């Protein structure tokens, strides 16, 4: 069942790749800049999508960027020249990362754990491959805790999930904690729905 769901979401993103760059305008460049200010050393970008973060990569980093959707990766490949840092693009599922433990100084994901079929499993993998003294930097939209907007997001979620493969009602901060990641800082960037979450792997 988990494998089937992964295939369904992957295929949805292969379709979403056709119009993702238009949709992506909802994510501000300022937010992306803030995320990448936190990156150091050897970096893993999870769910690179069509490469919207490429222009923000710090030139002194070396980036490995993964995504499970060949359609999204094909678009990213066309934009590689926008990255000021060296990038290895690899097709891979964050729920089963093919890297050794503690391989990266920083792991970054922007708007990814709203889509990963088993987000806690994906976040556990992120924690595993990040060095114990490394940093995990996430930009995520989450379910609103507002009495009206929260239930509206729940009601709309099946439609959004069907159309683009993304959930708008994930409780990602709780999922991050459930995966064992220790949160150092959590910043509300917009309406308590868009969050910058900075953490580290904690005691493994």
Q: For residues 164 and 15, what is the distance between their CA atoms, to the nearest angstrom?
A: 8
| Of 98 and 132, CB closest to ligand SAM | 98
- The Cα–Cα gap between 196 and 152 comes to 23
d(Cα 92, Cα 72) in Å, to the nearest integer?
12
Q: How far is the CB of 36 from ligand SAM (least distance, A)?
A: 11
- The residues of the shown chain that bind ligand SAM, judged by CB under 6 A, are 9, 13, 24, 27, 47-49, 52-53, 66-69, 72, 93-95, 110-112, 115-116, 122, 166
* Residue nearer to ligand SAM on the CB measure, 26 or 132: 26
Q: Minimum CB separation from ligand SAM for residue 203, in Å?
A: 26
Closer Cβ to ligand SAM, 95 or 172, answer by number: 95
Give the E-state strand segments of the chain in sequence order: 42-46, 62-67, 87-91, 104-110, 130-141, 182-190, 194-200
Residue 183 to residues 15, 25, 96, 113, 202: CA-CA distances in angstroms?
Answer: 34, 28, 23, 16, 9
- Cβ proximity to ligand SAM, 97 vs 134, nearer residue: 97
Distance CA 104, CA 131 (A): 6
């Amino acid at each position: 069942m988990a494998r089937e769901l992964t295939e369904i979401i992957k295929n949805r993103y292969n379709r979403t790749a056709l119009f993702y760059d238009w949709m992506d305008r909802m994510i501000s460049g300022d937010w992306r800049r803030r995320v990448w200010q936190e990156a150091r050393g050897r970096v893993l970008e999870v769910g690179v999508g069509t490469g919207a973060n490429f222009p923000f990569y710090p030139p002194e980093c070396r980036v490995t960027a993964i995504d499970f959707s060949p359609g999204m990766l094909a678009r990213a490949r066309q934009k590689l020249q926008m990255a000021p840092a060296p990038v290895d693009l690899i097709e891979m599922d964050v729920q089963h990362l093919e890297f050794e433990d503690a391989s990266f100084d920083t792991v970054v994901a922007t708007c990814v754990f709203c889509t990963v079929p088993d987000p806690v499993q994906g976040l556990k993998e992120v924690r595993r491959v990040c060095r114990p003294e490394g940093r995990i930097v996430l930009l995520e939209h989450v379910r609103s805790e507002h009495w009206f907007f929260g239930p509206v997001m729940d009601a709309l979620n099946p439609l959004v999930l069907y159309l683009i493969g993304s959930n708008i009602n994930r409780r990602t901060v709780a999922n991050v904690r459930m995966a064992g990641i220790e949160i150092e800082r959590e910043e509300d960037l917009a309406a308590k729905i868009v969050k910058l979450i900075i953490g580290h792997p904690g005691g493994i």
